[in-house]
Amino acid sequence: MRSPRSHGSGRFDLEDLGHLGQGVVFEEGVLVFHPENVEISDRVYVGHQAILKGYFKNKMVIGSDCWIGQRCFFHSAGGIHIEEDVGIGPGVQILTSLHDDPGRDHPIMDGALRLAPVHIGAGSDIGVGAILLPGVTLGRGVQVGAGSIVTRNVPDFAIVAGNPARVLRIRE
């Protein structure tokens, strides 16, 4: 069995961030891990108890005029890039890593860690409780329905929903 180790408290000082724009709001209880790899542009709101889990490599980049809801969880081991004017509802999870299957004779946690970035295009909106899985790219102006699980790339201006999320229509 592996020895457990701490990832730290997530408490951070603003000057520790890789970049901090003007007019950024962090509500109470926000945690940021590896803040040196987290870059936040101007006028970003980060809601209560959100977790921005940076990683020792790759970057989490959040563009200007974004809104990140309460209790979101972003894990940027593979890298996260959120363009400008994106709304992200409460409880959204963005994941950028997974374990490969090491075979039936080994626990899944023993599988190699595979990293894949997530990219969210400008002007998109992610509904409450949605989950974006590793390697997903959302085009510009995408609407993701509440509770959806996005497993594949989404074209510009698509409205997607479900588990797995499917394109319902293209916005006009």
pLDDT band for 4, please (50, 70, 90 cuts): confident
pLDDT cut 90: percent of the chain above it: 95
| Residues 131-156: tens digit of each pLDDT | 999 999 999 999 999 999 999 999 99
Residue 172 has pLDDT above 60, yes or no: yes
Identity of the residue numbered 119: H
Buried residues in 100-115 as b, exposed as e (16+ CB within 10 A): eeeeeeeeeeeeeeeb
Q: How far apart are CA 124 and CA 138, in angstroms?
A: 8
- Within 10 Å of residue 168's Cβ, how many Cβ atoms? 12
Assess whether the previous peptide bond of 90 is cis (omega < 30° from 0). no
Q: In what order do the strands lie in the sheet with 25-26?
A: 25-26, 45-46, 67-68, 87-88, 125-126, 143-144, 158-162, 165-170
Residue labelled with tokens 């961030």 = 17
Q: Which SS3 state, helix, strand or coil, does residue 8 take?
A: coil
Contact between 108 and 127 (Cβ < 8 Å): no
Q: How far apart are CA 76 and CA 73, in angstroms?
A: 10
Q: C-alpha angle 48/32/55, rounded to 5°?
A: 140
Say what the pLDDT of residue 1 is.
54
pLDDT band for 6, please (50, 70, 90 cuts): confident
Tokens of 60: 């989490």
> Which residues are catalytically annotated?
99
Residue 50 has pLDDT above 70, yes or no: yes
Say what the pLDDT of residue 5 is.
82
Q: How far is CA 37 from CA 33, 44, 75, 82, 88, in A?
A: 9, 17, 12, 14, 20
Say what the pLDDT of residue 2 is.
64
Architecture of the domain spanning 14-170: 3 Solenoid (2.160)
Q: With CA atoms as reference, report the closest residue to 79 among 127, 135, 26, 32.
A: 135
| Residues 64-105: tens digit of each pLDDT | 999 999 999 999 999 999 999 999 999 999 999 999 999 999
